[in-house]
Amino acid sequence: MKGILFSPSSNLNCFSKTQTNKTPQSIQTLNQITYPFFSHRNQNQPLLSFSMDSTKNAQTPITQQPPLVVVGSANADIYVEIDRLPKEGETISAKNGRTLAGGKGANQATCGAKLSYPTYFIGRVGDDAHGKLITEALESGGVRSEYLKSLGGGVPTGHAVVMLQSDGQNSIIIVGGANMSCWPEKLSDEDLDVVMKAGIVLLQREIPDSVNIQVAKAARSAGVTVIMDAGGMDAPIPQELLNFVDIFSPNESELGRLTGMPTESFEQISQAAAKCHKMGVKQVLVKLGAKGSALFVEGEEPIKQSIIPAAEVLDTTGAGDTFTASFAVALVEGKSKEECLRFAAAAASLCVQVMGAIPSMPDRKSVLNLLQYV
């Protein structure tokens, strides 16, 4: 997958607009389960949240384990289906086109929620049709969206043009919009509070590094594990951010760009991961596409995971986000590293069989059913 990121002018007039007329969405009831956490886990009191099922019309408060908190981007993905990429100066016709909710942050949040783990999303959208599309998609997926801000002042929702080829591979051009502008210089106490009460925090690089640094610092201060997906802007990652990341998750091309090292063979990937260790990240989770994935923990042997073949590959958009979020859910539930990799591989296999990013996120039952047969 190739991606290009564009950011809008910073001279936009930004202000938050309170979202009204929200209809509570039905989400799967979450049972209270005791999960083992890392030894450095914070012992904060669990957040108060709500559970609904189809037989009840009122929200019932329940006490649940510290949630997955995703801080990141929300995009409207504008799909164009093509046989091949156009050459320079060439105009070609698309076979089809549609607009679906996406963005790495929104994708990962929806994945966590659809896997029946309590998930909050902190992000920004514009007060426009694309913003409403994303908000509705998040809420219908079960994501807690009270930390999603809708911005007025003509700020557009971030969007991406996804050029989807017939073999399921894609190239993407991203317009940052609200994702890259109008974040406050200092995040609110409310945003940082939910971060500090998380089980795991997930970050990506489709929002400003300054926001990620604030979030990662707050999480580390509370003993919360931070997973950083390397996808997004093609620029060096600030060392100040890496200092507060527990698990760094690039794909092989991102790993190569960020380390300046070749990543064509597994030995080369291992050497590049070792460089990440020297940069302060103790665990590197590398997504290898058709070659599977590998987890490199400093001082330990790499753990490899093959792909779980899909019956048919329709769209690889969102597969990496599904993998990372599924790994995070399995990890916060106390599964072993090997089990986390296998769970994530199964979720990614189901994801690529459905068109779109958010629409393709699998539910827990589907993932567990697949794992019974592989």
Percentage of the chain beyond pLDDT 70 is 83
Nearest to 226 by CA among 206, 208, 242, 250: 242
- Could you tell me the two tokens for 315? 């769209």
Cβ neighbors of 239 (< 8 A, separation 6 or more) are 279, 280
Burial 30-59 (b: 16+ CB within 10 A, else e): beeeeeebeeebbeeeebebebbeeeeeee
Output the CA torsion sign for 330, 331, 334, 340. positive
Q: In what order do the strands lie in the sheet with 2-6?
A: 2-6, 170-175, 158-165, 75-82, 96-102
What is d(CA 75, CA 107) in angstroms, rounded to the nearest whole number? Answer: 9
In the prediction, which pLDDT does 369 show? Answer: 96
**Residues of the chain under the 50 pLDDT cut:** 1-2, 6-11, 18-63
Predicted confidence at residue 355, as pLDDT, reads 84
At 57 the pLDDT is: 37
356-374 confidence digits (pLDDT tens) = 888 899 999 999 999 999 8
Judge contact between 67 and 199, C-beta under 8 A: yes
pLDDT score for 19: 45
- pLDDT of amino acid 104: 94
User: In whole angstroms, what is the distance from residue 333 CA to residue 74 CA?
Assistant: 26
Angle between helices 209-221 and 189-196 (to 10 degrees): 50
| Alpha-carbon distance values, 164 to 80, 95, 98, 256, 313 (Å) | 6, 10, 11, 24, 12
Among 127, 191, 209, 321, which one carries the catalytic annotation?
321
How high is the pLDDT of residue 48?
Answer: 39
C-alpha to C-alpha distances, 169 to 83, 85, 107, 166, 362, nearest whole angstrom: 11, 11, 18, 7, 19
Give the pLDDT confidence score for residue 216 in this predicted structure: 98
315 is catalytic: no
